[in-house]
């Protein structure tokens, strides 16, 4: 719904959410159209309500290792 409103992809909304939260994200793709899409996140901004809605999706569940407790 948020992506449609801004005429963006879901990935672009996630990248924008990261930017607005000060999260450093390095998107990766080998497909040229996705690389261009990943860079096209500076021409819109999420509202506070949209940010809050996305924040509300957090289930405090990890799918990978915890970077704060990584056993090297």
Q: What is the DSSP string of 29-70?
A: -SSHHHHHHHH--SS----HHHHHHHHTT-----SS--GGG-
- Higher per-residue pLDDT: 6 or 66: 6
Full-model pTM: 0.81
DSSP character at residue 19: H
What is the overall mean pLDDT for the chain? 93
Instruction: Report whether pLDDT(11) > 90.
Output: yes
Band of the pLDDT at 71, cuts 50, 70, 90? confident
């Amino acid at each position: 719904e948020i992506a449609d409103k801004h005429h963006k992809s879901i990935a672009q909304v996630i990248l924008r959410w990261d930017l607005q939260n000060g999260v450093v994200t390095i998107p990766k793709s080998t497909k040229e159209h996705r690389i261009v899409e990943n860079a096209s996140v500076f021409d819109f901004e999420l509202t506070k309500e949209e940010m809050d809605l996305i924040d509300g999706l957090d289930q405090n569940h990890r799918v990978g290792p915890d970077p704060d407790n990584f056993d090297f």
